[in-house]
């Protein structure tokens, strides 16, 4: 009996550490984007070039809708996990993953639209390059988020213990909502500086 209590205490400590590490990672990611934002503001204020000077692609709106909708679907998956409803959890996770892939596709399409407008990653206007830096770094985090969601989905398929499933779902939900909020910040920042 005491061995089970010790295992339970150890498991709780490990979970707290994992959640703490997630929060530290997200704070680090936010600081990185805040530093990029500051660098962009200082660079454009220097007058080296006159800012982005391009209209952001319409596909950014579509990708924003996809990621906002995916926050709703992951919330529904999280609720289903807490209710121990594996069928609904799998359904909402699949929809969230598909929406994440759609977001990814719209972002790549946005890059194609920008290159057609003559806005390249490397050009005479470094302010325009910031669009690629912001969106590219965010896309890298989206890829990580998709792998996290896939891991949670596979855990449900393998029928891992309920407490492990809910814990994985907690972490995935926190991270995915963070990515959603981060994209909204990036998009609004780019809109205000176009």
* Three state DSSP letters for the chain: CHHHHHHHHHHHHHHHHHHHHHHHHHHHHHHHHHHHHHHHHHHHHCCCCCCCCCCCCCHHHHHHHHHHHHHHHHHHHHHHHHCCCHHHHHHHHHHHHHHHHHHHHHHHHHHHHHHHCCCCCCCCCHHHHHHHHHHHHHHHHHHHHHHHHHHHHHHHHCCCCHHHHHHHHHHHHHHHHHHHHHHHHHHHHHHHCC
Evaluate whether residue 109 is within a structural domain.
Answer: yes
Evaluate whether residue 106 is within a structural domain.
Answer: yes
Percent of the chain with pLDDT over 70: 97
Evaluate whether residue 50 is within a structural domain.
Answer: yes
Evaluate whether residue 2 is within a structural domain.
Answer: no
Evaluate whether residue 123 is within a structural domain.
Answer: yes
**CATH number, domain containing residue 101:** 1.20.120.80
pLDDT in tens, 144-182: 999 999 999 999 999 999 999 999 999 999 999 999 999
- Arithmetic mean of pLDDT, 117-138: 85
Q: Which pLDDT score is estimated for 51?
A: 62
Give 6's pLDDT tier (boundaries 50, 70, 90).
confident
Evaluate whether residue 34 is within a structural domain.
Answer: yes
Rounded to whole angstroms, how far apart are CA atoms 87 and 140?
A: 29
Rounded to whole angstroms, how far apart are CA atoms 161 and 85?
A: 13
Instruction: Judge whether residue 125 has pLDDT over 90.
Output: no
Q: 87: exposed, middle or buried (C-beta count within 10 Å: 0-12, 13-18, 19+)? A: exposed
Domain span holding position 174: 30-192
pLDDT in tens, 27-51: 999 999 999 999 888 888 777 766 6
- Name the average pLDDT for the chain: 92
Q: Which pLDDT score is estimated for 52?
A: 63
Evaluate whether residue 15 is within a structural domain.
Answer: no
Q: 25: exposed, middle or buried (C-beta count within 10 Å: 0-12, 13-18, 19+)? A: middle
Total domain count, the chain? 1
- Cα torsion 47, 52, 54, 57 to 10°: value is -170
Evaluate whether residue 5 is within a structural domain.
Answer: no
Cα diameter, the chain: 70
pLDDT in tens, 57-89: 999 999 999 999 999 999 999 999 999 999 999
């Amino acid at each position: 009996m005491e061995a089970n209590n010790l295992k339970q205490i150890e498991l709780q400590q490990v979970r707290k550490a994992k959640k703490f590490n997630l929060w530290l990672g997200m704070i680090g990611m936010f600081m990185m984007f805040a530093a990029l934002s500051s660098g962009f503001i200082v660079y454009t204020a220097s007058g080296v070039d006159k800012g982005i000077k391009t209209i952001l692609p319409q596909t950014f709106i579509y990708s924003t809708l996809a990621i906002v909708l995916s926050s709703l679907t992951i919330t529904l998956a999280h609720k289903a996990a807490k209710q121990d409803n594996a069928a609904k959890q799998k359904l909402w996770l699949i929809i969230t993953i598909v929406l994440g892939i759609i977001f990814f596709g719209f972002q790549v399409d946005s890059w194609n639209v920008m290159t057609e407008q003559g806005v390249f990653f490397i050009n005479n206007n470094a302010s325009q390059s910031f669009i690629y830096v912001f969106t590219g770094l965010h896309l890298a985090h989206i890829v990580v988020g998709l792998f996290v969601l896939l891991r949670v989905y596979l855990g449900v398929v393998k029928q891992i213990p309920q407490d492990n499933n809910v814990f994985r779902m907690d972490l995935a939900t926190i991270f995915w909502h963070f990515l959603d909020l981060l994209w909204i910040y990036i998009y609004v920042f780019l809109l205000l500086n176009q």
